[in-house]
Amino acid sequence: MSIQESGEMYLESILVLSKKNPNVRAIDISEYMGFSKPSVSRALGLLKSGGFVTADEHGLLSLTNEGKAVAEKIYERHTELTNFLTLIGVDKETASQDACKMEHVISDESFLAIKKYSKTLEKE
C-alpha cells in the first residue's frame, strides 16, 4: 500500500515522539503537529487500517514494522537533507523547514547522491 505525504508526516511524528517517550497517544501527536484532535483521529484511523500503526486498549500507539520502516526512511531523509542544506549555508531553521517539504518528494537516487555529497562536504 502506498502512503500519502500526510501519512508519512504522522508516522515520522510518532517515531520522533517515541524516541522521547515510548507512550505516544493521539493527543501527543495533536500537540506536536499542531493539528486538531479530530484530524489526528481520522489520520490515525487510516494508518491503522493501512497496517502502519496499532493502538492498545489504553490508546498507546505503536508503529508496525511497515510503519516503522516508512517513518525511519522519512526521518533519515529529513535529517540528511537538513544537514546538507546547513552545510551549503542555509540557516538551521530554514533548512529544517525545507527538508520537511523535500523529504516526501525527492527520488531515492537524488537523495542518495545528496547523502554521498554531504559526506565529502563534512570532510572539508
Show me where the domains of the chain are located. 5-69, 72-123
| Phi–psi pair at 61, nearest 5 degrees | -95, 145
User: Considering only CA atoms, which of 2, 53, 61, 58 is closest in space to residue 28?
Assistant: 61
**CATH class held by domain 72-123:** mainly alpha
**CATH number for the domain whose boundaries are 5-69:** 1.10.10.10
pLDDT exceeds cutoff 60 at 1 = no
pTM score, two decimals?
Answer: 0.86
The residue with cell 495533536 is 30
pLDDT tens digit string along 35-74?
A: 999 999 999 999 999 999 999 999 999 999 999 999 999 9
Across residues 107-123, what is the average pLDDT? 93
Buried b (16+ CB within 10 A) or exposed e, 48-84: eeeebbebeeeeebebbeebbebbebbbebbebbbbb
Q: What is the pLDDT of residue 2?
A: 63
